[in-house]
Amino acid sequence: MPFIFLGNALWLDFVNTQIIDGALIDLIGNDGAFLQWAKTADLQADEDDAATFDAALTEAQAFRAHLRAAADSLAAGTALNPVFVADINRRMAEHPVATVLEDSGRGWATSAKPVTSGPQSVLAAIATDFARFVSTEATNVRHCSNERCCIVFYDTSKNHTRRWCSMETCGNRAKAAGRRARVVQ
């Protein structure tokens, strides 16, 4: 099953590596999947680190569970767990980023590059994205309105009224079900 990038934020896309498709599916649950997700998300991940990523899988899954709880808190408007916030700060401190100057082909630009590499650096990048998100856009985290879907996303719609993870899947299913219900009546 392909990875889902509907969250509008890296940390939410990581949370969405656990989905429901009839049953709970862990998209990073097998060997090589965490590394593949990191590469697909354009994070610094090297094939040579495959064994290290596989060894860090349990930690990544536990971190994802804490991020999901944080998404639930943000969606409900409740406070974040202070222990979780301390973990976010620890990850960012242990795996800093450096600002580098690069020729982008259209001129000079600065970008942030991780100082370290490997799965811990990937988890730190996710933690950094979460910290940036919470400090600038902590509202409008939503759960898909399909009660059989567990996708969470940042609602960037104009009026912040987005209901579905994707109109192509859950939105169309809801519209079709509504149409069928009206025809039967």
DSSP per residue, 25-54: EETT-STTHHHHHHHHTT----GGGHHHHH
Q: How many domains does the chain have?
A: 1
In a domain? residue 125: yes
175 lies in some domain: no
pLDDT category, 138, cuts 50, 70, 90?
A: confident
Q: What is the pTM of this model?
A: 0.85
Going 148 to 152 to 156 to 159, the CA torsion angle's sign is positive
Strand, helix or coil at 61? helix
pLDDT tens digits for range 77-121: 999 999 999 999 999 999 998 999 999 899 999 988 888 889 999
pLDDT at 167: 67
Report CA torsion sign: 69, 71, 73, 76: negative
Residue 183 confidence (pLDDT): 64
Q: Domain with 82 in it: what CATH number?
A: 1.10.3300.10
The residue range of the domain holding 33 is 10-141
> What would the two tokens of residue 184 be?
């039967």
Domain membership of residue 168 (yes or no) is: no
Q: Is residue 1 part of a domain?
A: no
